[in-house]
Amino acid sequence: MASYTLFFNPMSRALIAKWAFAEAGAEPELVMVDWGINFGTIPARDNLKAYQGRIQARTAYKDSTGSIPTG
């Protein structure tokens, strides 16, 4: 069987893709992607840096160690 990689962010809808892989009988390798200022998709502004800090302070963000909650 082919191998798959699921790039995800803990604050995204990646769980839906993980369910789709499970329905297909595949177990993808999970790789966390940090979006936003660190990823370079958003220009660095003071107000966005503050928002990024609040997101990274959330429990869901801190607990993400390469796995997606299933419950």
| Span 5-34, pLDDT tens digits | 988 877 778 888 988 999 999 989 888 877
Chain centroid to Cα 47, Å, comes to 22
pLDDT at 71: 45
Going through 1-71 in order, the beta strands assigned E by DSSP cover 5-8, 29-32
The CA–CA distances, whole Å, from 38 to 3, 18, 22, 27, 48 equal: 28, 24, 30, 28, 11
pTM listed for this prediction? 0.49
In a 10 Å sphere around its CB, with 0-12 CB exposed, 13-18 middle and 19+ buried, how is residue 55 labelled? middle
pLDDT at 42: 64
In the structure encoding, which two tokens stand for residue 34, read together?
Answer: 């940090």
Give the pLDDT confidence of 24-64 residue by residue, as tens digits.
999 898 888 776 656 666 666 777 778 878 877 888 777 76
Mean pLDDT, the chain, whole residue set: 76
